[in-house]
Amino acid sequence: MRTAYLSSAYLAPIEYYTKLTTYDRVYVEQYDHYLKQTYRNRCTIAGPNGPLPLSIPTVKPDTDKCPMKDIRISDHGNWRHLHWNAIESAYNHTPFFEYYKDDFRPFYEQRYEFLIDFNEALCRLVCSLIDIQPCIHRTNAYHTEFAPHEADFRDLIHPKKDYRTADPAFLPRPYYQVFDAKLGFLPNLSIIDLLFNMGPESVMWLE
> What confidence tens digit (pLDDT) does each residue in 70-116 have?
999 999 889 999 999 999 999 999 999 999 999 999 999 999 999 99
Q: Global pTM?
A: 0.96
Distance, in Å, from the CA atom of 18 to the CA atom of 52, rounded to the nearest integer, reads: 22
| pLDDT 10s digits, 152-167 | 999 999 999 999 999 9
Query: What are the angstrom distances between the C-alpha of 92 and each of 42, 85, 127, 180, 183?
Result: 21, 10, 21, 15, 17
Task: Count CB neighbours of 205 within 10 A.
Answer: 18
Amino acid 5 reads Y
Domain residue ranges of the chain, discontinuous segments joined by +: 3-206
